[in-house]
Amino acid sequence: MKIELLPEGVLSAARYIPSPYRDIRPEGTIIDLIVVHGISLPPAEFDNDYIEAFFCGELDSSAHPYFETIKELSVSAHLLIKRSGEILQFVPFAERAWHAGQSCFQGRERCNDFSIGIELEGTDDLPYEKVQYEKLAKVIKALQQVYPAITRDRIVGHSHIAPGRKTDPGSVFDWHYLDCLLIA
């Protein structure tokens, strides 16, 4: 499946579900960073619609005890790649998604301003699915066509931009495998 960026800032291969948790990037911002995240709701549970509900401000906090601890958060990402390989998009790339929080990359703070956030359905300690890596690599290649400042050294994990605060996508994330897919 070919993945390309459409003029409205969404991927051709993504199911678009608009999140209210977004805003305009600062004027003149060059998008030059991809931040890879890992998420599961509830923790270590997959194949449900809770992440989508969370990113859209529709998560029922009574559905699971963990949800009570996150009910006040306003979080989104540009993309979610589910364990099945399905790609969901919540925020057009030209807009700022609220994924990085307090963060810093190479001395630049507020990574949400200049980055694209891609969530993978998973946890820090369970291997991600092969199809997730394949889709992630295709997405990155499509984004690099539109945003050439996103070079390989500007594809990082949430843990790289928020060390001590975040650990995702986790120690099981196979950066070498992603690199191999990106050069293939």
- The neighbour count for residue 121, using CB atoms within 10 Å, is 23
* Structure token digits, residue 123: 């946890």
Between CA 7 and CA 177 the distance in angstroms is 30
Active-site residue, from 52, 119, 121, 129: 119
- Known catalytic membership, residue 68: no
Q: Rounded CA gap, 160 and 163, in Å?
A: 6
Residues with catalytic function: 119
